[in-house]
Structure 1
């Protein structure tokens, strides 16, 4: 890395100092832009030490400047190639280093290496839109954030939620429910680009996050379908999230899933309401969730539950076919 020339480097995992620099850069960008530039999964990948890295599909991109023994991280990118035909990527430039062409440098590197890459723009910020469209990229996917109040006169949450006969709700038990939950999660999200591929490593990482609360991870089980060890089958679930890291805590409908064998019985609505009741009980005033913009049935379901669109993330790629 001669002199002070900014370069792009690819790494399968980040050493501790660079990991800390990347995460600090992401925090500065979030404060500057009002939206987090990296997804939760990318942050978790950035935290993993080289000896902990288990994914062969994750690549970290760094725009570095300065001496080789102590370079500064000016910009960062992450590329996930779990789907080799449509890798997904996220890019962020340090707010103090913008207007230097670093975003374009990083984007051009991604497009040379992964021409079919799909790039997230969280919040659909104007600068990102300008950058991506300058490379003739187009929006191929929208991810809506939807929100609703859960306290006050407009909350309209029922005091009681009825479940079909034989079904009951209980909290997730750490050390017991992981494997069974991964099975029903994969079945529920078989066609989902990210959620359906969640692994045991992904789940355990989240269990160690400060926000994780098993009491807010609600499982609906079928007590008429019990295995040889006496464990009831999981029919549906609602994993809620309360994140205190961004100042005022926010309640999130993190993941709602229904096993395909139990669809059509109203469990999606029921388990969503149960989770909202939990979020209200722990002091949240508003609940948010994320849903694909082309998932008309889910948007309609959440709309009937009082959710309205409050923000949007978009994904850019070459071509105009949405997915």
Structure 2
């Protein structure tokens, strides 16, 4: 039985750079640069990396909120890139997005009741009574009350607004949700509540998540598998504990070395990558990390390493591990 819900092959998303008086295209930002991965049903697949690595663009490209440049995105045996706009609109009830900032993603002129009824009216032919029943079901799921339905987004706290965003994403009962930094805009005390809510909803509704974050502690808590991105490319993938305990790529090791230890007496060796992140407009030849990696060899500057199987579902793109 095939357990794969989503398969991404050679996905690229480039943005044109305009310049000159005539605003001609002078180059492209390689935001997502030829990545491939699979997501299994009912798992949480995390995309991690520093700001600007392309993880949010990847998530939005999967749902065609941003149109990919090329590649293949197979969801339920169907390539969503080939779907027409109308076909994609219908597909969206099964593929949803939770945004990072709930305040900017919620229409300030709409009450919670209208915000939640809108996707139901868009995707389903439901009576008013059925819509009301569905809304009552979803607010109970996310920990809101009936009395809050007539309020506007500005009347809620940040955590409550994110609960509204989650409710809006799951009210159409999707099977796949992209959570784009869903707790980074929240207080630390609220983050755990929202994370536990997402975990509980996943179990109850059999959801599959792509969870995008730069917070490695959060990722370890919620994810089953992890893909590490750098400069638009995936440099390492594997099961969560495998990545956190047996990281192989120099970039992954550097990221993990920056995670604060739970034990204040434990000293960790920080791995500081030299130099700055190269421009995604003009990415380097070979390995994207070659200019910052202490272990870089001559081959790293010439040939781009592909993801190689290290066993136990662990893959790494690094010449250090090639025979």
Query: When the two structures are superposed, what TM-score results if normalisation uses the length of structure 2?
Result: 0.30
Structure whose residues are more often helix by fraction: 2
TM-score, with structure 1 as normaliser: 0.30
